[in-house]
Structure 1
Amino acid sequence: MQIILYLSVALIAIAFFVLVIFLSTTLKSFQVTLTSVSKTLDGLEKQLEGVTAETTILLQKTNALADDLKQKSESLTSVVESVKDVGTTVTKFNGTLQNITKNVDKQVEESKEKISQIVQWSNVILELRDKWQLRKQQKTSVSLNEGKKVRSH
């Protein structure tokens, strides 16, 4: 019975030794894997630093571009307001021209009768002048004819 006990202890010691060897091998393999992961993480960290620097530069450029766009937008706003003011002025000017045109048309309509009367009176005056000149010429020619008759007698 004692032999069985010694054999059992020896068997347990051998099993424990085999277990330690397998665990040692597994841990060494795990150590190699962790070393590889550590190197990969170092590479990723360096790449991330580069990306971070590029991102910072890109963010600065984006901020500068946003500021530039804001300034140009404000400038454009003043231009748009100026154009709007010009449009308002042109609209008011058109309204004023329409009012002036309406007033002129109204005055022409009111003056038509007066103009017509002036034209009629002008025609009457011209006819009277023509008749007066014709009578004057007739008197002059009658006087000359009488003077010629008197000389011939």
Structure 2
Amino acid sequence: MNVWLLATVIVLIVAVVIFVGCIAVVIFPLKNVITVILAHMQGLQKQLEGIQTQAIALTATIDKMKTDIDYKKQSFQTVVQSVKDVGTALNELNDSSQKATSAIVKQFQNDEEKQAQVERWTNTAVSFLNRKAN
């Protein structure tokens, strides 16, 4: 066998051994660093799980509050609409009572007998009130 070939093979084997040694020197300290990083990542994951649980609880609370506010808003709008409807009904009642009163006044103004009858009833009521007051 050739000496140069033998020397090349020996140099190659020594280079491979040195390369493996260098890799081992780099990887073993990295193993400790990676272990520490993984431990920190697990701690962060636990914290994130707690935050996620709180976020879910807050979202549920917000949804309940929104539903409650929507219900109260709808109820309040119903009450407001009812009050508006009462106002409209009172206006209509007022208009119709004014028309009826006007019709009665017109009839009363044209009928002297009714005027006399109203005067008698008024006098009777006033005398009754005067007796009660004494």
The TM-score with structure 1 as length reference comes to: 0.63
Measured after TM superposition, the shift of residue 49 of structure 1 is 0.4
Measured after TM superposition, the shift of residue 96 of structure 1 is 1.0
Count of matched residue pairs: 114
Measured after TM superposition, the shift of residue 112 of structure 1 is 4.6
1:41 corresponds to which residue? 34
Pair 1:92-2:123 in alignment: no
1:101 corresponds to which residue? 94
Residue deviations 1:31-63, cap 9 Å, x none?
A: 122223322321221111011110110011111
Structure 1's consecutive aligned runs of 4 or more residues displaced over 4 angstroms after TM superposition are none
2:129 corresponds to which residue? none
Pair 1:13-2:6 in alignment: yes
- Matched residue type, 1:110: A
Measured after TM superposition, the shift of residue 88 of structure 1 is 2.4
- Matched residue type, 1:40: V
Which of 96, 99, 106 is equivalent to 1:113? 106
Residue deviations 1:44-101, cap 9 Å, x none?
A: 2111101111011001111111221122223223312320221121122012111112
Segments of structure 2 that go 5 or more residues without pairing to the other structure are 116-134
Q: Secondary structure at the match of 2:2?
A: helix
Measured after TM superposition, the shift of residue 118 of structure 1 is 6.3
1:70 corresponds to which residue? 63
Measured after TM superposition, the shift of residue 116 of structure 1 is 4.2
Deviates more, 1:48-57 or 1:18-27: 18-27
Distance in structure 2 (CA, Å) of the matches to 1:56 and 1:20: 52
Which of 14, 21, 28 is equivalent to 2:21? 28
The TM-score with structure 2 as length reference comes to: 0.71
Measured after TM superposition, the shift of residue 105 of structure 1 is 2.6
Root-mean-square deviation (CA, aligned residues, Å) is 2.4
Q: Secondary structure at the match of 1:14?
A: helix
Task: Point out which structure has higher relative CO (alpha carbons under 8 A, 6+ apart).
Answer: 2
- Matched residue type, 1:35: F
User: Which of 1 and 2 has greater Rg?
Assistant: 1
